[in-house]
Structure 1
């Protein structure tokens, strides 16, 4: 089970529940994978709905490694994600948001 207070997001990949987290190292990896782009630009793309499949893939891969799972972007691209691409995109957006904002209390 993912703990939103620590920035965790859950996703089921190939039938296995995985907990993702953007640690400082995962964020640095993500910046490197973006090349010329920045995390701020990626946040803007997600906020505006203009993100790419590559954005989702590199974000999830970095989050998986931050959560202790050794799954690369190529392997993740071939994996079965429960709920399909829309759930993957939602999880990626949530992961990015949780890295910078505390969850709301209800």
Structure 2
């Protein structure tokens, strides 16, 4: 079960459901991996629609690690993501949004 207040986002990869979430360490790695000077810059990429497939894969990979699933970035790039690129980009954007959401 996905706990959105924990920042979790569900995604089915190669037929298996995974719970992803971004940890602080994963966010720091994303800044470096995606050449973003700040987290705000990364968020703005998604909000403005200026994100790349590389951005999506990096976010999903970080979210999977944060959710406890270890995978190789190259293996993730070759995996079947249920819903295709649209579902992958939505999940990546949701990961970012939930990482900074304040429970109400």
TM-score, scaled relative to structure 1: 0.91
Deviation at 1:32, TM superposition (A): 2.2
Deviation at 1:97, TM superposition (A): 0.4
Counterparts of 1:37 and 1:17 in 2: how far apart (Å)? 32
Structure 2 unaligned residues grouped into runs of 5+: none
Structure 1 unaligned residues grouped into runs of 5+: none
Deviation at 1:30, TM superposition (A): 1.3
Tell me if 1:98 matches 2:102: no
Q: Which position in structure 1 is the counterpart of 2:59? A: 59
Secondary structure of 1:70's match? Answer: coil
Q: Which position in structure 2 is the counterpart of 1:14? A: 14
- Calculate the aligned-residue CA RMSD, in Å: 1.4
Counterparts of 1:31 and 1:44 in 2: how far apart (Å)? 13
Q: Which position in structure 1 is the counterpart of 2:40? A: 40
Deviation at 1:23, TM superposition (A): 0.8
Secondary structure of 1:64's match? Answer: helix
